[in-house]
Structure 1
Amino acid sequence: MSAAKTARERVRAEMVREITDIARTHLAREGAAGLSLRAIAREMGMASSAIHRYFPTKDDLLTALIIDGYTALGDAAEASQHDQAAPAERWLALCHAVRDFALARPHEYALLYGSPVPGYRAPADTVAPALRATVVCGRIIADATPAPPDSTPPPAVLGPDIEALRQVMPGVSDVAAARAVTAWTALFGAVSFELFGQFDNTITHRREFFDHGMRSLARYLGL
């Protein structure tokens, strides 16, 4: 690889980083639907046509932001884990990592888990980053071998769905797999309620309330 090519790639990487950094500030002000390549180019002092060399369309920029967001969440989820800890503590650490990410980066969380952006369809290359936090959850469930007590097996019609879930939590029982989906959904529901204002004027001690709920889910999971 020539030095000139390396320099070009470095400049391109820096431009992409600057564009996405500015896009995140616009995301906070305008929301995903209001994101504009033209406005970003104007803020950078470049011709609107020039920005298309880096992101041909707004959807390409959204995809980059989504991948960045899922990557940051995946990093936080993986960093929360200590393999020697008990499964219940690993679950709690994961839950708090998700909440901390959402509170620190609310507009990125909203892009990932809020209302869909009208007309945007996420491409396949967002799937692997999106699964990283889910895989952490799956490992915790798979490592917690006891089945949840007093549990009713899911209906037979869910068999194919349960098998698909075992890709991220191999070897778990049908009951544990089904409960994992319910708990994972409850985790993001709790985070979203807090972030999007549904707890306003109701829940004051939000971290403590969240921790209590996630501990209850740990028991529900049989951890």
Structure 2
Amino acid sequence: MADPKPSRRERLRAEAAQEIKTIALRHVAEKGKAAVSLRAIAREMGMTAGAIYSYYDTRDDLITALVADVYNSLAQALEDAVAAAPPGPVAKVVAYGHAYRDWAVANPHEFRLVYGDPAPGYQVPEQGPAADAEHRACTALTGVVVEAWPWAQRLHAESGYAWEDYDPDFAATVRAAFPDLQPAAVAVALRLWGRLHGLVSLEIYGHLRPQVQDPDELYRAELLDLTHWLGLAPVAAAKSVPVAAAKGVPVTAATE
């Protein structure tokens, strides 16, 4: 049986909650996270302070809702890109990498919200929708590494990492989602994310434009280098040259 349609009252409430989040995100973009204030948003919406607290009990609850939305948006973009990529680890790595940057460039304020300096006095709850959404975004990357691991392990399996090297809660979460994953593969996932995230962060915060005419070209070169770092160069030569070429990676470089 189909779920009943929401009532008009429920639709209006959902629209108001979304408007609150939209205004809050704009305030973050214009003034920083510390400027988020339920009372200020209520004034802008022509709503009483008491009324807005019926949507979000505190400023932190509002920020948590924003964080959950942002991570889910990022995760959806990553999942869609990886699912649409042709079979094979090279295509998945390239698709993930481009989707990560494309989403960040299209949503710079959202990127800064979850990856910039935290709001004073705010901490993302360890449990709940925001934590679940963050885990979802991380799972997309780990899944890509799992697919690449048969090749990457020849270069990284003996790196010496053990589960004891990671935060216990983090390790438990990863092992629950990927029971057969080796601790060395987790290190590869973190290092892969670090290299992609580093360039994207430099671009989003305006630190690449003074030095580089085309950040996209630099990023494509990093993606190509990462396929070699993951031990995927032979796979790229055999199976994924069209994917590399479509993303602007020179075919000659992809087949070296």
TM-score computed with the length of structure 1 as normaliser? 0.88
The answer for the alignment partner of 2:17 in structure 1 is 16
Matched, 1:141 2:164: no
* Distance across 1 between alignment mates of 2:223 and 2:85: 19
Match of 2:224, SS state, is helix
Contact 1:139/1:168, CA 8 A, preserved across alignment: no
After TM superposition, the structure 1 = structure 2 runs for residues 45-194 of structure 1, keeping only pairs within 5 Å, are: 45-81=46-82, 82=84, 84-123=86-125, 124-125=127-128, 126-144=130-148, 145-151=150-156, 153-155=158-160, 158-159=163-164, 161=166, 164=172, 165-194=174-203
Deviation larger for 131-140 or 169-178: 169-178
Structure 1 residue 75: deviation in Å? 0.9
Going from structure 1 to structure 2, the CA distance change for 1:149 and 1:204 (only over 3 Å counts) comes to farther
Pairing 1:210–2:219 present: yes
Shift, 1:209, TM fit: 0.5
Alpha-carbon offset, residue 54 of structure 1: 0.5
Over 3 Å counting, the alpha-carbon distance change for 1:131 and 1:215 in structure 2 is: farther
Structure-2 change in CA distance of 1:56 and 1:163 (3 Å):
closer
What residue in structure 2 maps to residue 41 of structure 1? Answer: 42
Bigger Cα displacement from structure 2, 105-114 vs 83-92: 83-92
One-letter amino acid of the structure 2 residue matched with residue 112 of structure 1: V
AA in 2 matched with 1:106: P
1:201 is matched by which residue type in structure 2?
Answer: P
Segments of structure 1 that go 5 or more residues without pairing to the other structure are none
Query: Aligned-residue CA RMSD in angstroms?
Result: 2.3
Following superposition, the deviation at residue 183 of structure 1 comes to 0.8
Of 206, 219, 226, 1:197 maps to 206
